[in-house]
Chain A
Amino acid sequence: MKNKKILIVDDEENIRILFKEELEDEGYAVDLASNGFEAIEKVKNNSYDLVVLDIKIPGIDGIQTLNEIKKINTNQPVILCSAYGEFRQDFSSWASDAYVVKSADTKELKQTIAKILTQNG
């Protein structure tokens, strides 16, 4: 699990900080982006083992961002993470690898990340 690099995309600063600290505690290297354009730029210029992407973000929406990221790197693992649980079932139709509903309890997020990272070696 060590030395894995994760990009967190969320427009709320406190969420970014919370997730960053929680994941850093797990030993991940965490990078941050606050909107879709920034995320796409970062993916282009860096290599991440995983992207955690909010759906509702300013500028271009989460699904567009997801598509752009996949255009850059088809194999880039992406977890959709939203406060909104409505589309929990639809993540695969959007080429994302998982869908996590945002929660103060970060256990599900951490488990999902760990699972995807092990799958991808």
Chain B
Amino acid sequence: MKTIQLLGEIIEISNSNLEINSRMQAILNIISHRMEFEEVLVFKLDKDKRLTCSYANEKSRLYPIVNKYRCHIGEGVIGTVAQKRVPQYFNHNDIPPRFGCIFFNELDDVMYNYRSFAFIPVSDDSFLYGVLVVISRSMEGIKDNDKILLAIIAREIGGLLKTNDLLINSKKRISELVTLSELGKILTTNLEPQTILKNTVFTIAKALNAVFASINIDWPIPKMECHRFVYGNLNGSLAEIVEDCEKQAIQQKKTITYEYYNDNNDLQVKKIYSLYSSPILTKNKAIGVLTIGFLKPGKNFYQNEDMLYITTTITNYIANGLENILLSTKLKEVIKELNETQKRVIEQEKFKSLGEMMANIAHEIKNPLVVIGGFTKRLAKKVNLSQTENRYANIIVSEVARLESILNDVLNYVKEPPPILDECNINACIEDILYLFTSDGSWEGIKITKDLDPSLPLILCDVQQMKQVFINMILNSFEAMNGKGEITIQTKNIADDENHPQIMISISDTGGGIDPTIIENIFNPFFTTKEKGTGLGLAISNKIVKNIGGRIEIENIVGKGVTFKIYLPVNKNKNNGEV
């Protein structure tokens, strides 16, 4: 009756909802209490095929001593029982057995009183889960009844450990899946790469109960200086160690692990870290390293092997996502640049044709308009018109006047004074223009040399108008060279004249120069030697430069090329700051 009651209690406990540790503890306590064993211990087989004393009855005196040891299968009594899966029993007459890998003399104090020993394999039909050890002071050895009972109990414990292993495995699996799906979500968001990386390390650290997670990106991310993203504490000597681990992981192209004993601080808080570094590989190029750090012993239920596997899984999982993000950021940058270039090219076209457009409108629309309006007036004056007819004529005349005034507004392009005066960085202005020209394929044969004076002061002018001047001149040079030659652009701060500080911008080409007989006409509006030229480029440029108190000089070497030198005054009161 006692036996059945005991088994019933044990089964009840093992089926209860308690935590595995509590259930084991309760079962071992009952065995100890009811069957009168001083020591009831369970050595559990771990992943590394070692046996560790994982559970014991509450009053066990051996547990604190033996739980430090791990023994191999086949080693000592415990190892042998585990290997052969056959129970072994001893009493005080037997030669003191080796207690697993542990020698009895180490345990002398405790073992002194113990007389009976049973070592029972904890297994089911196929697997071994550990070894149950019971010890008593009884001089009689283990009774036969107890041997049977212990065998049954060992089976029950086996079942318990098995379901628990399954449970831990599925928990691990679930946690991995949750982590991966979280990461998946983060990696597919539309956020900035920085934000995504920060969220990634946060999720990894949280999901794995790590003290920190860090990703070090080895990839140029636009507009970003810092390439390390960390969640948790990572500083001092630990940071240095992590860097070492990262290097190793990159070198070996695989996940590496490292145990780090941090005893810099006071001994009370001596910490052991296990670190896992895994290279983030894409097509065999490492774009960064993920490092996860745990405190030992930690709350995570992962073993070393698991962690290597998990870290590798996570890095593999995020590698592609990260690469996509980094590539798409790069792509976004490129697209943005392209858009800007396109915009600028369109602007350039506008600039180039603005003069033409104005002149064309002036002549194609305005001349006929003048004729219509002018003759309508004459008609009304000459012929004796009826009141109605006269009214019609007046309507035409006033509508023409309206159109004319609209045209005049449009046509008067370079207004005086210049509309938007601002401090302008001429060097930057030139860089902008050159960028826009050099991104055009037809400029391939043109070599552009820049010599921009970094001490160039800011100039008070209308930036858009100044750009138009440079564009006109550079286009003239380009057009003079038939697709092949050299354009040299120089800026210079001519500060020597105290009273009239000025800057000089020179634009030289190798386009053969200007025929001396026409050179005095090139600033005339509508003077052109080009079939499709309007002849407004230099006229308008000259006007713009004069408007802000500057001047243009020409150095013409016939047969070789032209240099246009633009002198602009420096507004002394307004700017002392250098570019």
Chain B, 347-399, CB within 8 A of any chain A CB: 358-359, 362-363, 366-378, 397
User: Are B524 and A61 in touch, CB under 8 angstroms?
Assistant: yes
The answer to whether A102 and B378 touch across the interface, beta carbons within 8 angstroms, is no
> How far, in angstroms, from A68 to B112 measured CA to CA in the complex?
133
Contacts of A90 in B (CB 8 A): 543
Q: Number of B residues whose C-beta is below 8 Å from A?
A: 36
B525 touches A87 (CB 8 A): yes
Alpha-carbon separation in the docked complex, A86 to B526 (Å): 12
Task: Give the nearest-CB partner of A89 in chain B.
Answer: B416
The reply to whether the CB of A120 lies closer than 8 angstroms to some CB of chain B is no
CB of A22 within 8 Å of the partner chain:
yes
B373–A104 CB distance below 8 A? yes
Interface assignment of A63: CB less than 8 Å from any CB of chain B = yes
Closest B residue to A82 by CB, please name it: B362
- Interface presence of A92 (CB below 8 A): no
Structural contact, B370 and A104, CB atoms closer than 8 A: yes
> Using Cβ atoms and an 8 Å threshold, which residues of chain B touch A82?
362
Q: Which residue of B lies closest to A56 (CB)?
A: B526
A88 contact set on B, CB distance < 8 A:
412
Complex Cα distance A22/B416, Å?
32
Which chain A residues numbered 65 to 121 have a C-beta less than 8 Å away from chain B? 82-90, 101-106
A64 CB within 8 Å of chain B? yes
- Residue contact B408 to A85, C-beta cutoff 8 Å: yes
B414 CB–A CB distance under 8 Å: yes
Which of B366, B535, B543 is close to A83, meaning CB atoms less than 8 Å apart? B366
A18 to B400, CA, bound (A): 15
A61 in contact with B411 (CB, 8 Å)? no
B527 close to chain A: CB less than 8 A: yes
The verdict on A15 contacting chain B, using a C-beta distance below 8 Å, is yes
Taking a contact as CB atoms closer than 8 A, the residue among A64, A84, A102 that contacts B521 in the complex is A64
Verify B397–A84 contact, CB threshold 8 A. no
Quick one: closest A residue to B364, CB to CB?
A83
Contact B373 A105 (CB under 8 A): yes
Residues of chain A lying within 8 A (CB to CB) of residue B362: 56, 82-84
Flag whether B401 is at the interface (Cβ < 8 A).
yes
Asked if A14 is at the interface of the complex by the 8 Å CB criterion, the answer is yes
Interface residue? B486 (CB, 8 A): no
- Measured in the bound complex, the distance between the Cα atoms of B527 and A82 in whole Å is 15
B408 and A62 contacting across the interface, CB-CB below 8 Å:
no
Partner of B413, one of A15, A86, A106: A86
Q: Is B539 an interface position by the 8 A CB rule?
A: yes
Assess the B369–A104 pair: CB atoms within 8 A: yes
- Given A12-B367, A61-B535, the answer on whether A106 and B374 have CB atoms closer than 8 Å is yes
A101 touches B371 (CB 8 A): no
Q: A18-B375, A90-B543 are in contact. Are A83 and B370 (CB under 8 A)?
A: yes
Highest count of chain A CB atoms <10 Å: which of B359, B373, B374, B540: B374
Q: A63-B521, A84-B525, A86-B358 are in contact. Are A18 and B371 (CB under 8 A)?
A: yes
- Nearest chain B CB to A94 CB, angstrom units: 8
| Interface: A55 (CB within 8 A) | yes
From known contacts A56-B363, A83-B362, infer whether A61 and B371 are also in contact, taking CB-CB under 8 Å: no
Q: How far is the CA of A14 from the CA of B368 in the complex (A)?
A: 8
Smallest CB–CB gap between A63 and chain B, Å?
4
| B370-A18 in contact (CB<8A) | yes
Report if A104-B359 is in contact (Cβ < 8 Å); known contacts: A63-B527, A84-B525, A86-B525: no
Q: Which of A21, A83, A88 has its CB near the most chain B CB atoms (within 10 A)?
A: A83
Q: Are A86 and B404 in contact (CB under 8 A)?
A: no
Q: Please pick, from B363, B404, B524, B543, the residue contacting A104 in the complex, using a CB distance under 8 A.
A: B404
Q: Are B526 and A102 in contact (CB under 8 A)?
A: no
Distance of A1 Cα from B543 Cα, bound (Å): 36
Checking B369, B401, B526 against A55 with a beta-carbon cut-off of 8 angstroms, the contacting residue is B526
A-B contact pairs, 26 of them (CB 8 A): A12-B367, A14-B371, A15-B370, A15-B371, A18-B374, A18-B378, A22-B374, A22-B378, A56-B362, A56-B525, A56-B526, A61-B526, A61-B535, A64-B524, A83-B411, A84-B359, A84-B362, A85-B411, A86-B411, A87-B543, A90-B543, A103-B370, A103-B404, A104-B371, A104-B376, A105-B377
A-B CB proximity, top 10 nearest:
A104-B373, A63-B524, A83-B362, A83-B366, A18-B374, A14-B371, A84-B362, A56-B526, A104-B374, A61-B527
Given contacts A86-B413, A104-B373, A105-B373, 17 further A-B contacts (CB under 8 A): A12-B367, A14-B367, A14-B368, A14-B371, A15-B370, A18-B370, A18-B374, A61-B524, A62-B525, A62-B526, A64-B521, A83-B362, A83-B363, A83-B367, A83-B411, A84-B358, A104-B400
